[in-house]
Amino acid sequence: MEDIETLRRILSQHRRIAVVGLSANWYRPSYFAAKYLLDHGYEVVPVNPAYEEVLGQRCYPSLEAVPGEIDVVDIFRKPADVPPLVEQAIAIGAKVIWMQLGVVHEAAASRARDAGLEVVMDRCMKIEYARLFGGLNFIGVNTKVISSKRPRTLPY
């Protein structure tokens, strides 16, 4: 389910992202990715019991503690931590489970799909956004996206 059109649709339609494992340390990948998403019009909801606030956003100790709906649960945790997070995502009515680079858990992905969630594994939202909506190709990175059409920019 990681074809270009599906990734583009997920990134276009789902704007409220719970980033599980978001660190307040600027040098961590989760911080860098979340800052990028904020800068590109997404609502980022930090989920990490270690912090009160990250990137100027209130931080929550768990997915269940987050008020309102969550579109995407973006997981920056080790694969062994994924199954309970999938169960929490199902319980709160999330629409997408997104496991970051290096995070793969086939059984949890299958459980999420069976519950009606879309699943993306072993990919970074920041990298995919830049690849599919412009940014990476401007600096010479081969994005493997060939099209005669310029990608539509997202409204924000």
DSSP letter for each residue of 14-66: --EEEEET--S-TTSHHHHHHHHHHHTT-EEEEE-TT-SEETTEE-BSSGGGS
pLDDT tier for residue 48 given thresholds of 50, 70 and 90 = very high
Q: Report how far apart, in Å, the C-alpha atoms of 95 and of each of 3, 7, 98, 112, 153 are.
A: 17, 13, 10, 9, 22
For residues 32 and 6, what is the distance between their CA atoms, to the nearest angstrom? 24
Token pair 């929490």 is found at: 88
- For residues 77 and 100, the answer to whether their CB atoms sit within 8 Å is no
pTM (predicted TM-score): 0.86
pLDDT on residue 141: 47
Maximal C-alpha separation, the chain: 46
Domain boundaries, the chain: 4-139
Give the separation between CA 109 and CA 16, rounded to whole angstroms.
20
Mean pLDDT of the chain: 90
Please report which confidence band the pLDDT of residue 140 belongs to, taking 50, 70 and 90 as the band edges. Answer: very low
On whether the CB atoms of residues 17 and 72 are closer than 8 A, the answer is yes
Q: Which has the higher per-residue pLDDT, 45 or 2?
A: 45
Superfamily of domain 4-139: NAD(P)-binding Rossmann-like Domain (3.40.50.720)
The pLDDT confidence band at residue 134, using thresholds 50, 70 and 90, is: confident
% of the chain at pLDDT higher than 90 = 81
Q: Are 70 and 94 in contact (CB under 8 A)?
A: yes
